[in-house]
Amino acid sequence: MLKKKMQKALNEQINAEMYSSYLYLSMESYFRSISLVGMANWMRGQVQEELFHAIKFYNFVGERGARVELGTIRKPEADWASPLAVFEHILKHERMVTDMINNLVDLAIAEKDHATRNFLQWFVAEQVEEEASAGEIVDKLKLIKNDTSGLFLLDAELAKRVFTMPPQGEV
């Protein structure tokens, strides 16, 4: 059974994961509006991944005999100055999510909730991957600067991303 403080924090994380999905869907729309369909495709993968994270938290809360309480998802930003600005926003956002996950781990330790601490280790590792992926794209966009050929090559590279749902045991 989850303690109330942990339950509340996990419910807040579900909301944060849903917001992340909503934010990335907004970014997908931005990229489609400027005809960067490869970047839009990359964002769609992020949308699906964040929804997967939310469901993973949702399932865990239920498995621990607690109730999920869904909150309002705030409206995400809709416009950015450039593709670089979008990916810098993503990197900043993922760093914030990393902090949130780390805070959950700290709470699980303080509450002596070993099951939740163990569950969260998957997310700790996932955030390393999330930050590295966004950071790599930021670095490439900085190298590209105003070279439209480079932008279109990166767009084509990002079009290859396919989100694969993890095996059933991981949900």
Query: Residue by residue, what is the 3-state secondary structure of 44-76?
Result: HHHHHHHHHHHHHHHHHHHHCCCCCCCCCCCCC
User: What's phi and psi for 78, nearest 5 deg?
Assistant: -130, -15
The whole-number pLDDT of residue 170 equals 61
Q: pLDDT digits over 90-135, tens only?
A: 999 999 999 999 999 999 999 999 999 999 999 999 999 999 999 9
Q: pLDDT digits over 131-170, tens only?
A: 999 999 999 999 999 999 999 999 999 999 999 888 766 6
Give the C-alpha separation, 166 to 51, whole Å.
12
Q: Walk me through the domains of the chain, giving residue ranges and CATH numbers.
A: 4-160 (1.20.1260.10)
End-to-end CA distance of the chain: 19
C-alpha 104: how far from its chain's center?
Answer: 16
Other beta carbons within 10 Å of 123? 21
pTM: 0.94
Q: Kindly give the interhelix angle for 114-144 and 37-63, rounded to the nearest 10 degrees.
A: 170
- How would DSSP label each residue in 108-163? HHHTT-HHHHHHHHHHHHHHHHHHHHHHHHHHHHHHHTT-HHHHHHHHHHHTT---
